[in-house]
Amino acid sequence: MNREELQSAITALNADITFEEGGEYLTANIPADACRDIMQALHNLPAFEMDYMFCLTCVDWKTHLTMVYHLESRKHAHAVVIKSKLDRENPEIETLSDIWRTAEFLEREVYDLFGVRFIHHSDLRRLLLTDDWEGYPLRKDYEDPINMIKL
Amino acid sequence: MDVKDNQQHAFPGDVHPTASGGILVSKLDDVINWARSNSLWPLVFGTSCCAIEMMSTASAKYDWSRFGFEVARATPRQADVIIIAGTIVNKMAPVLKRLYDQMADPKYVIAMGACATSGGPFFYNTYSVVKGADHVIPVDVYVAGCPPRPEALLHALITLQAKIKAGDKREKIVIEKFVDSN
């Protein structure tokens, strides 16, 4: 599918989806509570068949967090970016690790560095930092007076 | 290569000519330092993009084996010099210290690039980077650059050779520091 076809097909999945203009990929903003259903559809429906998640990350906007998923179909060669806003104080979203296996480690990384809790994740532990680490270093308000020299 | 460099690479000592040739008078320390400086085996150790430049320095175009560095060792037990090629993060610091401790004396350290000398681009606003590898192990030669060009690394290696030939062993420096501080 080309960009326009993809956009209309995704809109048909859920009425609350909005799209961003510009950017290399088609970018859809979806509500966090509908994230799992939409992702499942993108993965399973033959029209999409997004079988490859090539990036999963998070952005701290100070007012809120945004989860960012990059999906691609190897069969149809189309790609889409899915974004989902999260509450900064209590960031929670359903895991996608059972849909795309690669999300298991990527979600652990996001949990490690941003503190997003992935519901029903099979093994949500810190990935890079030590288990007793306090705080989430990639958050904008992270403070570490010993190791960090503020500019 | 100018005269000074020629002298630097020459075998240390004075030749006293005799009828049948000559007698070389030298100091054993000088000969040992000459031998050491011309076969420095680096440890295979690279933590980021500086390692790519280090590999380039090792390969055919720059070819550090011209100066006696060709035998890169994958074990610290057989290495003489560790080139810290890249960022040292807090998690890597104990590993670096351990590798250094496992190397046999005499051992030398080159801090390659901005990260290894000072933390470089990660000096400010980073929670994970060691601000200079000399917080972890003592460094003999620092190389500027991000990453340094292979020529810069070659210059650092030659500088290290000159340092070894000059005879200042780290043991001596450490002892002098110890004496001064007491």
CATH number for position A88: 3.30.460.80
Q: B1 falls in which pLDDT band (50, 70, 90)?
A: very low
* Selection from B93, B82, B105 nearest residue B135 by Cα: B93
Rounded CA gap, A68 and A29, in Å?
A: 9
Q: What pLDDT, in 10s, does the model give residues B77-91?
A: 999 999 999 999 999
Enumerate the residues of chain A whose CB falls inside 8 A of the CB of residue B125.
148-151
Written as six digits, the tokens of A35 are: 């994230």
Q: Is A109 helix (H, G, I), strand (E, B) or coil?
A: helix
Rounded CA gap, B110 and B138, in Å?
A: 9
Q: Which residues of A touch B (CB under 8 A)?
A: 128, 137, 142, 144, 147-151
How long is chain A?
151
Residue A77 belongs to what domain range? 3-95
Task: Report how many domains make up chain A.
Answer: 1
Residue A22 domain flag: yes
Residue A85 domain flag: yes
Is B127 in contact with A150 (Cβ distance < 8 A)? no
Prediction pTM value: 0.80
Task: Find which of B122, B124, B127 to mutate to test the A interface (most A CBs within 10 Å of its CB).
Answer: B127
> Mean pLDDT for chain B?
86
Residue A139 domain flag: no
The mean pLDDT of B152-174, rounded to a whole number, is: 80
Rounded CA gap, B150 and B141, in Å?
A: 15
Q: How far apart are the first and last CA of chain B?
A: 44
Residue A133 domain flag: no
The mean pLDDT of A33-48, rounded to a whole number, is: 91
Written as six digits, the tokens of B65 are: 């084996």
CB B163 within 8 A of CB B36: no
Enumerate the residues of chain A whose CB falls inside 8 A of the CB of residue B90.
147
pLDDT surpassing 50 at residue A20? yes
* Selection from B117, B47, B118 nearest residue B86 by Cα: B47
Enumerate the residues of chain A whose CB falls inside 8 A of the CB of residue B94.
none
**ipTM field:** 0.74
| Strand locations in chain A (E) | 18-20, 26-29, 52-60, 65-72, 79-86, 92-94, 117-119
Q: What percent of chain A has pLDDT over 70?
A: 100
Q: What pLDDT, in 10s, does the model give residues A43-99?
A: 999 999 999 999 999 999 999 999 999 999 999 999 999 999 999 999 999 999 999
Residue A104 domain flag: no
Written as six digits, the tokens of A119 are: 């519901």
Residue A135 domain flag: no
